[in-house]
Structure 1
Amino acid sequence: MESQSAKPIIAALLQPLPVLTQPQARNDLSDESVVRLLVRQFIDLSLDAFNQVLQGKLDQDEAVDGINRQAIALNSVFLGNSGFESVITHPWNTPEQLGAFLKDVVALEYPEDDCVRAMLIHLATQVMHALRLPDEERNEEVEALTLDAADLLLGRAPEDDGEIDIDIDV
């Protein structure tokens, strides 16, 4: 499910990670800080796109396309087929493992090789809804969404009350 334009996006998402988290320039997908940073970058890019639409600087379709390209790129990274040597994957990072987990836990009705992308698109939708909240509540909601998404990508069902905060109702 990787498009040709996904490679530069993946590279851009991974570029700051070696300096911030991995001194050997390796991005280990079992490292919680790496996963959270990737999720947070996706959320920040989504927030920026939504804000540009609200300000009339970007067409809504272009924003959605850009967010989807980012989600496709991260799908490739988290499912272990990005081709980047700087990314350390594990047996978990496959459609049969991570994809099946997301399909089951988040109740996604997508093929296992597309479940990371689908989960991230749903995450972006929740982030868009969070824009309606007052600043302090919005920041808390975005942080909670970030932690929940990172937990899912690490193979942990988010804690709280047993409920998954990433609402998949479309």
Structure 2
Amino acid sequence: MDSKITNPIIAALLEPLPSLAQGQNDLSDESVVRLLVRHFIDYSLAAFQGALHKARTDDDAVEAINRQAIALNAVFLGTSGISSVTTHAWNSPEQLGAFLKDTVGLEYPEDDCVRAMLIHLATQLMHSLRLPDEDRNEEVEALTLDAADLLLGRAPQDDDEIDIDINL
């Protein structure tokens, strides 16, 4: 593992993926991107559940989610320093950051747009906890697909509507 990575959980998640991309985790590979998004979603849901059951404070849950989002921001913008991650010209603030800023309507600097989009995603996940289990599972799956599409440079295909609503 590289010493530049700020989040060992993200680095560890990227280590066991050689079967997906022959030792490299290519950020143009949809399965790699979905795995990272799904990890963030599962981590966020666990943090929210921990806060609901008083296993951690609300502030601790929010800070833990933000740390994950910061680490993924570095991964997707190509600044994480993880040698097993293959980035492309797309993985830059000028490309991905600008795309997210324009597509999702974020009012953050381009070098912080992945983090901002993920925090908005986490907010929607928190709201999904109020839904019945079946509806929640559908919502989580839709959010996973939409977030992965955005990180791959595709506007979500759900009737050209982006489910990651930043106006909560």
What TM-score do the two structures reach when normalised by structure 2?
Answer: 0.94
Deviation at residue 169 of structure 1 after TM alignment: 1.3
Once the two structures are superposed, residues 7-49 of structure 1 have per-residue CA deviations (whole angstroms, 9 ceiling, x without a partner) of 3133133133335x23x22100000000000000000000000
Cα pair 2:100 2:114 within 8 Å, conserved? yes
* Map of 1:50 onto structure 2: 48
> What is the root-mean-square deviation of aligned Cα atoms in Å?
1.3
* 1:50-107 alpha-carbon deviations (Å, 9 max, x no partner): 0111111011000000000000000000001111110000000000000000000000
Q: 119, 122, 125: which one pairs with 2:120?
A: 122
Taking every aligned residue pair, what percent have the same amino acid on both sides?
75
In the alignment, structure 1 residue 137 sits paired with structure 2 residue 161: no
Counterpart in 1 of 2:145? 147
Q: Please give the residue correspondences for 1:31-70 in structure 2 after superposition, counting only pairs within 5 Å.
A: 31-70=29-68
For 2:105, what is the secondary structure of its paired residue?
coil
The runs of 5 or more residues in structure 1 that have no matched partner are: none
Asked whether the equivalents of residues 70 and 115 of structure 2 are also in contact (C-alpha less than 8 Å), the reply is yes
Partner-residue secondary structure (3-state), 1:6? coil
Gap runs ≥5 in structure 2: none
1:12 aligns to 2:12 (yes or no): yes
The 1-side partners of 2:94 and 2:5 are apart by 25
**Paired AA for residue 8 in structure 1:** P
Q: Which amino acid aligns with 2:7?
A: K
Q: Find the aligned partners of 2:101 and 2:68 in 1 and give their Cα distance.
A: 20
Alignment partners' CA distance in 2, 1:47 and 1:66: 11
TM-score between both structures, scaled by the size of structure 1: 0.93
| Paired AA for residue 17 in structure 2 | L
Aligned residues: 165
Q: Is the 8 A contact 1:35 1:153 kept in 2?
A: yes
Equivalent of 2:28, from 27, 30, 53? 30
- Report the CA distance between 1:5 and its aligned residue: 7.6
